[in-house]
């Protein structure tokens, strides 16, 4: 009996939103996250549309400020941070370590409820008096304390979402420590599990700092605390420190699980054991650790001492090393492999390409001299989208392509996916590469009106955004269609070697009829029929 069939006390929707089955919770997250992602994409397209004209057009500057704030808040807090861990981590972590569920199933459901509550609060702020927030997703003081728009609501929403993230993190760590199947030693764990483990530690150790920072904004606005008010002795720079102590590690919360997905897909479609298993596993932990110590590279122009800037610049260069280790190991895995470019592999290779561009342009900003020139320009926006969308976004798409047949038992139309991919790839590079070019030429970010000399670049970028959005919706439509008309996928359509491929598609309620005993490494292809 598959997990999709009705069971327990409730039927229909209630059977899903009150289910503590990790697979059902993963699917709940998938629907919620993709819905908010679509809204975020829509806001992004609307922002780009205005930028076709240098002057006032289409809508007011206030509306533009609200759009970039909401685009950021939605895509970061409701899409990329929970994205891969909450959807695919929930669904596949227990399957990959041979467990029946996560350690705290009810806490797991609670974290989804927190997620929905946070999302509802964030969306409520749109309709309250004062209007949607216009501070940017980073809520910098003093503006976030002074603006008359609704800041308290979205800030509280982000606080609640942080709770959801923390609960998922502590659930995963406990699950990995306590529920591995017999024989599943730490170095027999799939690399996706390693990446979730590293991510979960950052979620636990960094998110509370965001929690207190957001509470302090509420305190400033509601109780007039004055802790960041320079007129009363407060220091706004301290806000920036607190904010980035969370929000820089948060980008590793976003990217690490995507790297884990790529580490699953590359060996499967190269029909080869992964190159440098331990190096990849340890590099996840190294990123989690060093990534905690680089936050102030967001503040090179904020007025810190030269010593602090040089130190954070050095640490920023160091954190690139483990990411480089991963990229080289993935490429080395493909070397002399029997490569099959199925849709998941296509997106995994796209990840490597786009993330490498994003990573290298990130290093350029880690250099103090360059940073001062490109700070607050479109160059940063382009770089950020190359890592977060080209990286995590493509990783999430690849994960969906790789595991959708397992989750639903259905195979999608592969040709439709390839067409969507072409659209996404062309649109993506037109949009974000152009952004980096115009940023390099001096176009500041978050400006509603701009000098006419940048208009050609904005037009190219906006056209790119249309291709990208069209590609994304074609991509998502292919899955909706597959739900109804997909062909049966079978238990192991890709020839995967990890435990989730040993059970039926979709998996039975208790995952495995008998808890497996693990004797082989996770990517051991020797002796497989199609190796």
Partner 1 sequence: MSTAAATLSIEHAHVDPKGSRIGMWLFLFTELLLFGGLFLLYAVYRAKFPADFHYAAKNLDLTIAAFNTVLLLTSSLTMVLGVGLLERRQRKASVLFIVLTILMGAVFLVNKYVEWSHKIHLHLYPGSAELADRTMGENIFYGLYYAMTGLHGIHVIAGMIILGFMVAMLRRPPQRTVAVPVETLPGMADKNVTGATVTLSYAEDEELDTRRLSRLENAGLYWHLVDLIWIFLFPLFYLIS
20 binds partner 1, rule: CB under 8 A: no
Among 90, 207, 498, 505, binds partner 1 (CB under 8 A): 207
Q: From the centroid of its chain, how far is CA 254?
A: 4
Cβ of residue 188: shortest distance to partner 1, in angstroms? 20
Taking CB under 8 A as the binding criterion, the range among 36-44, 208-216, 309-317, 391-399 that sits at the site for partner 1 is 208-216
In the list 12, 55, 233, 527, the residue contacting partner 1 (rule: CB under 8 A) is 233
Backbone φ and ψ of 517, nearest 5°: -105, 130
Instruction: Let me know if 484 is exposed, middle or buried by CB neighbors in 10 A (0-12, 13-18, 19+).
Output: exposed
Does 469 help bind partner 1 (rule: CB under 8 A)?
no
Which part of the chain contacts partner 1 (CB under 8 A), choosing from 127-135, 232-240, 253-261, 468-476?
232-240
Q: Which of 132, 133, 211, 393 binds partner 1 (CB under 8 A)?
A: 211
The token pair that represents 98 in the structure block: 């041979």
Rounded to 10 degrees, what is the CA torsion of 48, 54, 56, 59?
-10
Q: Does 103 engage in binding with partner 1 (CB under 8 A)? A: yes
Residue 90 interacts with partner 1 (CB under 8 A)? Answer: no
**From residue 38, how far is each of 112, 196, 411 by CA, in Å?**
19, 25, 23
49 binds partner 1 (CB under 8 A): no
Stretch that binds partner 1, among 177-185, 186-194, 370-378, 523-531 (CB under 8 A): 177-185
Query: Rule CB under 8 A: is residue 346 a binding residue for partner 1?
Result: no
Selected from 76, 158, 173, 482, the binder of partner 1 by CB under 8 A is: 173
**Angle separating helix axes 306-334 and 277-290, nearest 10 degrees:** 160
Which CA distances in Å does 470 have to 34, 48, 466?
15, 14, 6
Q: Is 104 in the site for partner 1 (CB under 8 A)?
A: yes
Region from 60-68, 97-105, 148-156, 329-337 binding partner 1, contact rule CB under 8 A = 97-105
Q: Which of 2, 38, 147, 174 binds partner 1 (CB under 8 A)?
A: 174
Tokens of 442: 């001096």
- Per CB under 8 A, does 224 bind partner 1? yes
Tell me which H or E stretch contains 488: strand 487-488
Instruction: Output 8 or 183, the one with its CB closest to partner 1.
Output: 8
| Residue 209 binding partner 1, by CB under 8 A | yes
Q: Is there a contact between 503 and 512 (Cβ–Cβ < 8 Å)?
A: yes
DSSP 118-140: HHHHHHHTTTSTT-S--S-TT--
Q: What is the DSSP letter of 76?
A: I
399 exposed, middle or buried (CB, 10 Å; 0-12, 13-18, 19+)? buried
DSSP β-bridge partners for residue 488 = 410
Q: Is 178 in the site for partner 1 (CB under 8 A)?
A: yes
- The mark string for 288-327 relative to partner 1 (x by CB under 8 A, - otherwise) is ----------------------------------------
The single residue among 242, 281, 388, 461 that binds partner 1, judged by CB under 8 A, is: 242
CA dihedral (397, 398, 401, 405) positive or negative: negative
Distance (Å, whole) CA 133 – CA 122: 10
User: Which residue in 15, 131, 142, 219 binds partner 1 (CB under 8 A)?
Assistant: 219
Q: Strand locations in 253-391, DSSP E?
A: none
Q: Which of 33, 119, 153, 216 binds partner 1 (CB under 8 A)?
A: 216
Relative orientation angle of helices 306-334 and 236-270, to the nearest 10 degrees: 10
CB of 177 to partner 1, least distance (A): 6
- 234 vs 439, which CB is nearer to partner 1? 234
Interface residues with partner 1 (CB under 8 A) are 100, 103-104, 107, 166, 169-171, 173-174, 177-179, 204-205, 207-209, 211-213, 215-216, 219, 223-227, 232-235, 238, 242, 245
């Amino acid at each position: 009996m598959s997990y999709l069939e009705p069971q327990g006390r409730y039927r229909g929707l209630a059977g899903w939103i009150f289910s503590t089955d990790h697979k059902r919770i993963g699917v709940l997250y998938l629907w919620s996250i993709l819905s908010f992602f679509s809204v975020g994409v829509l806001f992004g397209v609307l922002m780009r549309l205005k930028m076709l004209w240098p002057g006032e057009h289409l809508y007011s500057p206030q509306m533009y400020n609200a759009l970039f704030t909401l685009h950021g808040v939605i895509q970061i807090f409701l899409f990329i941070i929970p994205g891969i861990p909450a959807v695919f981590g929930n669904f596949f972590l227990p399957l990959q370590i041979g467990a029946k569920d996560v350690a705290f199933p009810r806490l797991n459901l609670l974290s989804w409820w927190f997620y929905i509550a946070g999302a509802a609060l964030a969306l409520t702020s749109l309709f309250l008096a004062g209007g949607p927030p216009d501070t940017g997703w980073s809520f910098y003081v003093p503006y976030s304390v002074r603006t008359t728009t609704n800041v308290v609501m979205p800030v509280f929403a982000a606080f609640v979402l942080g709770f959801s993230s923390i609960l998922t993190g502590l659930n995963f760590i406990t699950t990995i420590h306590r529920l591995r199947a017999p024989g599943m030693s730490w170095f027999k764990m799939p690399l996706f599990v390693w990446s979730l483990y590293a991510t979960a530690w950052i979620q636990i150790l960094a998110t509370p700092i965001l929690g207190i920072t957001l509470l302090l904004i509420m305190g400033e606005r509601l109780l007039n605390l004055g802790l960041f008010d320079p007129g009363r002795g407060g220091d706004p720079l301290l806000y920036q420190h607190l904010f980035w102590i969370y929000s820089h590690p948060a980008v590793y919360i976003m990217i690490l699980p995507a790297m884990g997905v790529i580490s699953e897909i590359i060996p499967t479609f190269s029909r080869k054991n992964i190159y440098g298993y331990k190096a990849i596993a340890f590099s996840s932990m190294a990123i989690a650790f060093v990534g905690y110590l680089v936050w102030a590279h967001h503040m090179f122009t904020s007025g810190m001492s030269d010593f602090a800037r040089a130190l954070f610049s050095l640490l920023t260069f160091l954190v690139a090393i483990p990411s480089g280790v991963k990229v080289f190991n993935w490429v080395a895995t493909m070397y002399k492999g029997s490569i099959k470019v199925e849709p998941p592999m296509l997106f995994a290779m796209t990840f490597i390409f786009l993330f490498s561009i994003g990573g290298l342009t990130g290093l350029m900003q880690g250099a103090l001299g360059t940073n001062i020139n490109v700070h607050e320009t479109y160059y940063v926006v382009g770089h950020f989208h190359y890592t977060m969308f080209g990286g995590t976004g493509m990783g999430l798409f690849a994960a969906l392509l790789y595991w959708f047949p397992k989750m639903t038992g259905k195979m999608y139309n592969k040709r439709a996916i390839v067409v969507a991919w072409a659209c996404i790839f062309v649109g993506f590079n037109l949009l974000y590469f152009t952004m980096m070019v115009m940023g390099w030429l001096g176009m500041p970010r978050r400006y509603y009106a701009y000098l006419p000399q940048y208009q050609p670049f904005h037009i190219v970028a906006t056209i790119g955004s249309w291709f990208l959005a069209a590609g994304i919706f074609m991509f998502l439509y292919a899955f909706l269609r597959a739900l109804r008309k997909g062909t049966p996928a079978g238990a192991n359509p890709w020839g995967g070697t990890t435990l989730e491929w040993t059970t039926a598609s979709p998996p039975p309620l208790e995952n495995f009829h008998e808890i497996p005993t693990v004797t082989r490494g996770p990517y051991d292809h020797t002796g497989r029929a199609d190796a």
